Structure 1
Amino acid sequence: MHFTAVSCAERGLKSHLLLRGEQPEILTGYNLISTIYGDVTYVPRSIYSRRMTMLKTHADLVASNTGHILCCNDILESSLSDHSSTSSSGHIDAHGNTENHSRKIIIINEGAGDVVALLGVIRLVQYLCQSHLLGKERQIKLVVDAGTGTTAVGLGIGAQCLGLPWEVTAVMLADTIDAYRQQEQKLISDFRTRFGFHLTDHCLNEVDGVVHWVGRCHQRKFGNILEGEIETCQHIAQQTGILVDPVYTLAAWEMATQLSREEMEGGAQVVMLHTGGTLGMFGLAQRYKSYFSKLKEGLSSVKVAPH
């Protein structure tokens, strides 16, 4: 979300960010960056659970009586149906002002969970399959953590459309396997509807799907962490230089480690896609003070040997 705020600021657009839960006592990490770049509203968890209703209600408040509300998919539909839409939608200058039209309020779904987001992920696949990176010939097991699941589906679609021998494994974080499969089917169906004319040699089957969905190694409610996981993240960082967080990327790391042990010599190469999330460690340090105090105690007990 903070990436969206930064991108909007760079283009002279104002962003309104809806964050789940309560404002922390001290702003750090994502909360701090979001507040610096955008207009932040903290939403009670009971209201946030009805995401689209929450987004549309807030968009109505921002739009008031002078704004026109759109979703990203609406813009995509307009672009595909009329390539000359700029002549009919008004001119937008460098400061985001429109001529002859009311203000436009754009709703971006949580986790960018719309079909338009798939295009960026497919572009990522196209980048990764270059010969100096993963290449197009090797068997790859690509592992990713899944919030909304959109990134995983985009990876799967990209691999199929480019004819890559890749298998995408997504670790489910926030919902049931049925919910993830329904989201996958919807995204594939929307993708076929909007971009199917580009698909000639490859077929996307929303029934079979393009992602292998798996559960966390250690189950819990989304957003919660378990005792010992902060120390695990610390160990991974010190041993590899890679920073993972216990809410998102630790789940993918653990699954990738498990799969790499299962692969026989000469089998598929296991690749974990790091999706970010590490700024969230600052917020976790406020919520789980006792867990981070153990880290501090552990560090203070380390003695440096004299030369």
Structure 2
Amino acid sequence: MTAFVKELEEAADRVTVALDALLPRADGPEARLASAMRYAALGPGKRVRPFLALQAGRLIGADERGLLRVSCAIECIHSYSLIHDDLPCMDDDDLRRGRPTVHIAYDEAIAVLAGDALQAVAFEILAEPDTHVNGQVRALLVSELARAAGARGMVGGQALDMALSEERTEDIGLITRTQRLKTGALIAYSVTAPAIMTDAGKEARVALDGFAHDLGLIYQIVDDILDAEGSTDELGKTAGKDARQGKATFVSILGIEGARDRATRLARQAKEHLAMFGDDAHMLSSAVDYVLDRRA
């Protein structure tokens, strides 16, 4: 096991334990809702976004306890987005992370409500004093996550992605914008939120923002390649959906090799953004290789 994978798994375990304590227990009148929330958020997953937050925070000296809470909030938003993405009115998928999706394991109404509740929990976590002693910092963490998750971020990207499923386009700029919002916005928040918690200078913030922008695009390009080349068993979700839906992707426009080439160039660029941090950024730099080479 490489040092990076070990660090990733240890971070995932820490976030899972912390989330277990923060999420409502599956008992009482709301037991089914709480059970669905926990099914989604505590299930198997690599927890890449929380890992990025933890590593970026350590790089610039953010408080570890607050970092862990921010990481949990990010995972709640990510889990909510996956629940809603899988709904029949969206991607209509029955499988996620090798298990039945929430609307299959429970039902569609509970899936909607579980996603809504996880989104609310994320902002509750950020707003509490345990996340940061400074109320202005907490308010900024909340507002920036709202931006990253809302119409100018992840949700807006999902709306554009649905439009791409209806209209075949060769506009690589539109696809890039779609994925910067749908996938990249939350990844960008994961990397830059720690800078809100510290007195990191402008140069460090710009470097982290550039790194996050490139990493988000790499993540989506590799996702497109895996959807085209991978199997359902390998991915833990239904493979080949993009082609069946006729959706425009990096692969459909650039081809497999063209998409790989673009991802490789972005990987070099992402690492260049980290140069100012030297060897201290080796885990974030390794995350670029991990995302580029992932198989699921």
TM-score (norm 1): 0.29
Instruction: Answer 1 or 2: which has greater helix percent.
Output: 2
TM-score (norm 2): 0.30
Name which one, 1 or 2, has greater alpha-carbon Rg: 1
Instruction: Answer 1 or 2: which has greater strand percent.
Output: 1
